[in-house]
Amino acid sequence: MRSELFRVSGHHGDRDPQAEAWVRAVDRGFYDKDRDAAALQRFIDALRARDTLLTAVYDDGATAPSLAAVWPVATFAEFAGEMTVRPGAQLSAHQISDVTVRATHRRRGLLRSMMEASLARAVAAERPVAVLTASEASIYGRFGFAPSAYQVPLRLKVEHGLALRPEAKAFAAAADWRVEELLPRDMEPIHDHVFAAFHQQSTGSVSRAWDDLQRVTGRWAPDGYGAAEDLRAYACFDADGTPVAFATARFGGWDKDPKELQILDFVAADPAAELALWEHLGAHDLVEVLTFSRARVDDPLRWALANPRDLTTKSVEDSVWIRVLDVPQVLAAVDWAADGSVVLAVEDALGYADGRWALTVQGGTARVVEDDAADAGPEVAMSVDTLGALATGAMQPWQAAAVGRVQADPEALLAVNALFGDRRAPMNHTFF
């Protein structure tokens, strides 16, 4: 097997045959349909815009007509971004995407070699965390990843409009919000302003890239094949005309009952504006149901409804995974709930986070040093993936203890519970 690292060559709109073969291999790995030339170029331009480093593994012993003779048998992509670990605190993130291994070449260590090499590059680039979105949840724990944010698909009955409790309706109207429907092509500055504000204040959020903007503006359909001809766009503005929330959606079709408005993207930087935008989306004539596949797991919308049963969810899904690479940097960015001291004994098979870390929090500021002293404080033992989930609040210490993912005596468990506290669930609106 031969592995090559490369970036897409040329400028926007230029072809790159090596990258085209790489994209074809990715599509095959995710069971996507073959792209036409325009859709292929969109993918290439997105890789170029993110300055993506691509890994392609080739089987030089393969012969025609095998696909292994023309396309890579394994693919891997990585690029720089950032993740919010607490409101106002972002960390440089090593984003990983498009990981595939051809079924004919499984069990040969290709995934492990690509992942370990990529994480080594992340450490060399001084990126304290790596993040990815996972198609299969059982793959990445072995490399120290854990879910860092979750989402729920929701279904909201609006046959007679969104029925809000009186105090919720008053709360949504108090700031003189103005909701407007827009052409998607006009959404770029609105998206950029609102998402920047959301990202700054939202634990778990991962930065967006050029291709996210193409979907919000309708230049791309959600699947990247052609333009989104049926996309609708909405924005909520404050009294000064500043955008504070936006959504994109499409009508589910006249042949579908009940009639449905499918929300594709919904980002808000203010809870009252978010509620006002929900109210507007629920006011469309003939629409009986709103659906959204990426709502918060602790979304307060249910508590705003006159009938809480109007909102239903059926599943909880992970939206992004985190891998801690630099323990002191990550813990320094956590939103600590209390002062105190504890020793975190972290097990990391790859070595990046392995060790005993003495954590002291004072006035909300963390000091972290590697400390092998036996009397450095109450000790809590955990694996590196558990540490990642705790850092963003995707998992609480008491939950980890209840399933054996942390080992601690009662004193140490009380200390770590107090330090991490009970935070709002993390939220991510970026998929890559």
Q: Which 3-state string (H, E, C) describes 62-77?
A: CCCCCHHHCCCCEEEE
pLDDT score, position 375: 66
Question: Reduced to 3 states, what is the DSSP secondary structure of residue 181?
Answer: strand
d(CA 245, CA 237): 7
Residue 122 and residue 177 in one domain? no
Same domain, 178 and 244: yes
Please check the confidence at residue 255 and state whether its pLDDT lies above 80. Answer: yes
State the pLDDT confidence band at 374, using cuts at 50, 70 and 90. low
281-323 residue pLDDT tens: 999 999 999 999 999 999 999 999 999 999 999 899 999 999 9
Of 286, 319, 352, the one marking the end of a domain is: 319
Asked whether residue 17 falls in the same domain as residue 100, the answer is yes
As a whole number of angstroms, the distance between CA 386 and CA 369 comes to 19
- Tokens 């005309």 belong to 241
Q: What is the CATH number of the domain that holds 368?
A: 3.30.1050.10
How many domains does the chain contain in total? Answer: 3
Per-residue pLDDT tens digits for 102-127: 999 999 999 999 999 999 999 999 99
In a domain, 357, yes or no: yes
Is residue 253 pLDDT above 60, yes or no?
yes
Element counts in the chain: helices (H) and strands (E)? 12, 18
340 and 311 share a domain?
Answer: no
First to last CA, the chain: 27
Asked if 226 contacts 204 with a C-beta cutoff of 8 angstroms, the reply is no
pLDDT tens across 375-428, in order? 667 899 999 999 999 999 999 999 999 999 999 999 999 999 999 998 899 999
Report the distance separating Cα 271 and Cα 269, nearest Å. 7
Crossing angle between the packed helical segments 271-281 and 166-173, to the nearest 10 degrees = 110
Tell whether 168 and 302 lie within a shared domain.
yes
Of all residues in the chain, the percent with pLDDT exceeding 90 is 94
Convert the pLDDT of each residue in 189-220 to its tens digit: 999 999 999 999 999 999 999 999 999 999 99
Q: What is the CATH number of the domain that holds 243?
A: 3.40.630.30
Inform me whether the pLDDT recorded for 148 exceeds 60: yes
47-72 residue pLDDT tens: 999 999 999 999 999 999 999 999 99
Q: Give the residue-averaged pLDDT of 366-373.
A: 87
Mean pLDDT of 356-360: 95
Nearest to 95 by CA among 126, 133, 124, 150: 133
> Is residue 190, in this structure, part of any structural domain at all?
yes
Domain boundary among 266, 295, 319: 319
Residue 426 falls inside a structural domain = no
Instruction: Give bridge partners of residue 77 from the DSSP assignment.
Output: 54, 97
- Does a structural domain hold residue 185? yes
How many residues comprise the chain? 432
The verdict on 315 and 333 lying in the same domain is no
User: pLDDT class for 371, splitting at 50, 70, 90?
Assistant: confident
* Same domain, residue pair 299 and 333: no
pLDDT at 38 over 90: yes
Task: Report helix, strand or coil for 333.
Answer: helix
Largest CA distance in the chain: 70
d(CA 286, CA 260): 9
- Cα 130 → chain centroid: 12
* Residue 422 pLDDT: 87
How far apart (Å, rounded) are the C-alpha atoms in residues 195 and 84? 12
Is residue 302, in this structure, part of any structural domain at all? yes
Asked which of 148-162, 182-196, 235-249, 373-387 is least confident by mean pLDDT, the reply is: 373-387
Q: Are residues 287 and 359 in the same domain?
A: no
Q: Taking 60 as the threshold, does the pLDDT of residue 174 lie above it? A: yes
Whether 432 is covered by a domain: the verdict is: no
* pLDDT over 70, % of the chain: 99
Identify whether 140 is part of a domain: no
Same domain, 176 and 279: yes
From 319, 353, 376, give the residue that closes a domain: 319
359 within some domain: yes
Say how many C-beta atoms besides its own lie within 10 A of residue 13's C-beta. Answer: 9
SS3 90: strand
Return the amino acid letter for 340. G
Looking at every residue in the chain, the average pLDDT score rounds to 96
124 and 223 part of one domain: no
Whole-angstrom Cα distance, residue 122 to residue 130? 7
Contact 260, 252 (CB under 8 A): yes
Domain that residue 165 falls in: 151-319
Are 191 and 309 found together in one domain?
A: yes
Alpha carbon 117 to chain centroid distance? 22
Same domain, 240 and 345: no
